[in-house]
Amino acid sequence: METALLAEFKQHSVFRLKEGQRMIHLAMEKVSEEQLWLLPGKMGLRLGNQLLHICGNMTQYAIASLGEQEDQRVRDEEFSAEGGWTKAELLQKLDETVALAISTIENAPEAAFLNVRKVQGFSFSGLGVVLHAVEHFSYHVGQIAFWVKQLHAEDLGFYAQHDLTQLNE
């Protein structure tokens, strides 16, 4: 039986992944196929590379590590691509990766969250693995949003239907 605390952690981790996925879709609606592979600066990362990198990291951490699957990530390929994927293909890859990560998080037994393993040379419990996957995803969602805002000089409307000025209760 799962503890209430672990159930809460899983619920909020899944919520954050779905929120990030939603935000990426909203941002990418404004991006052309050409803009997908524009380099934002000398040390910037193309939107296409961002999406490939998100999928690679989430697969390595949330799916392979927590789900006890073989790690087959080739990280350098996420950064070296200069095309070869359409926006629709990348969003499909993102959606499939997020769905599999969510399924892995929701179905992992409590022991998997306590077990310590090595990922990218770091030692993490399953809790740490999920925390990293969610945090890393959110970090790149912010980078994508920033770059798309720079391309179009407009708000992306992530929370257009919400009053974010409400005070805590």
- Which residues are CB-neighbours of 9 under 8 A, at least 6 positions away? 113, 127, 130
- pTM > 0.75: yes
- What is the C-alpha to C-alpha distance for residues 63 and 56, in angstroms, rounded to an integer? 10
Per-residue pLDDT tens digits for 77-91: 999 899 999 999 999
Per-residue pLDDT tens digits for 14-68: 999 999 999 999 999 999 999 999 998 888 899 999 999 999 999 999 999 999 9
Q: Which domains does the chain have, with CATH numbers?
A: 4-152 (1.20.120.450)
- pLDDT score of 157 more than 90: no
- What is the C-alpha to C-alpha distance for residues 129 and 121, in angstroms, rounded to an integer? 12
φ and ψ of 123, to 5 deg: -95, 120
Averaged pLDDT of the chain: 95
